[in-house]
Amino acid sequence: MTAAAPAATRASSAPARSLEARLEAQCYALGFDLVGFVRLGPAESAAHFDEWLARGCEGEMAYMARDPELRHDTRRPSPGAVSAIVVGMSYGGREPTGPVARYARGDDYHDVMKERLRALHRWLSEEMGADVPGRAYVDTAPILERDLARRAGLGWVGKNTNLINPGTGSFFFIGSLFVAMELEASAPFEADRCGSCTRCLEACPTQAFDGVRRLDARKCISYLTIEHRGAIPEELRALVGEWVYGCDVCQTTCPWNAKFATELADGSPYRAREVLAGKDARQLARALLGMTQEEFSRAFRGSPMKRAKLRGLKRNAAVVLGNVGRVEDVPVLQQSLNDGEPLVREHAAWALRRLDRDRDAPPSLSDTGDSEP
């Protein structure tokens, strides 16, 4: 009878895990939920992106049109890089809907994900025994990230233009680490699993979709409440409804999210911060309209909501009160007629007129807002 091999011999005979398998395990250890690998090269959706720009659908997001050739080929933004580790990080899709889109209720995902991708980069260099040139990207570089993520196997681009993963839905962020080393590419996601479903397109409050995977940002509530810096077009204000910042409608109506969206993990950095937690649209709108710049800076430090600035959030808050406010909200809006920002005054005046017409407010109310255009 042959004796069993010593433990050390048995361990050494086990096949070594590939670098890609070790990278995947490290990504999960860092808190990412999806991982894939892709070789850098031409972006398959470049022509679609160019056509989107040609129609002017980017609105005021002029940065989208700068250096478009960089977006055409993922080798260009980071010279020397040949592969990318593409990750997805869930921000939860089971939380109740509310006046702030789910992605923006907690800490800024740019900061959270970049810190973890940089930790991954350090781990990779240590694993290789030498510095591996690389760079982390999260939503701020000239990269068609959904194209990259689909090619890395993370999901398909849904009819609402969001990347959808069959196991987690679409409530996740995309990030990538570009590296100057060859990695074995994951199988790209080739299937379109939306089928004949068009719920997301039909549910859009402002009808911002003019076709399948054709989103006109100029009508999108997320664009209007975040990226747009001027007055919200008057014909769209009522359609903004209760959204103070962003919009989740085309995601919450998606059957893949209804079935597979996940709960926020304990200790997730994306849990709603105190200034937002438990507030409905009216409560948050009133709180924002009463904020000073100092209070805003303190309450939203490290939040993605800083992007709209206080004047933008007050503009949005006035629109929300015009849509769902009550007579008891009139004093808050009247006070906003004295705001130092003409943008805020204009939308407060609009809201006051709306309340006067729609909610049997005092007859003198419409006169209050007539001094503003």
Q: From CA 303, how far away is CA 270, in angstroms rounded?
A: 10
Q: From CA 286, how far away is CA 106, in angstroms rounded?
A: 20
Q: From CA 310, how far away is CA 38, in angstroms rounded?
A: 40
Q: From CA 65, how far away is CA 352, in angstroms rounded?
A: 38
8 Å CB contact between 325 and 333? yes
Provide the H-helix boundaries in 89-188. Answer: 109-128, 145-151
Residue 137 dihedral angles phi and psi, to the nearest 5°: -130, 135
Q: From CA 345, how far away is CA 246, in angstroms rounded?
A: 22
The two three-digit tokens of residue 360, written as one number: 């049997």
Q: From CA 279, how far away is CA 286, in angstroms rounded?
A: 10
Position 96, amino acid: P
- Output the CA angle 46-52-53, nearest 5 degrees: 90
Catalytic one of 73, 107, 111, 139? 139
Q: From CA 48, how far away is CA 40, in angstroms rounded?
A: 19
Q: From CA 162, how far away is CA 95, in angstroms rounded?
A: 19
Q: From CA 244, how far away is CA 335, in angstroms rounded?
A: 19
The two three-digit tokens of residue 135, written as one number: 């760079």
What is the 8-class DSSP label of residue 67? S
The closest of 97, 113, 107 to 34, measured between CA atoms, is 113
Q: From CA 32, how far away is CA 138, in angstroms rounded?
A: 13
Secondary structure (DSSP) of 3-26: PPPPHHHHHHHSPPPPHHHHHHHH
The two three-digit tokens of residue 171, written as one number: 């409530």
8 Å CB contact between 213 and 163? no
192 classed as catalytic? no
Q: What is the sign of the dihedral through the CA atoms of 63, 68, 72 and 75?
A: negative
Catalytic residues: 139
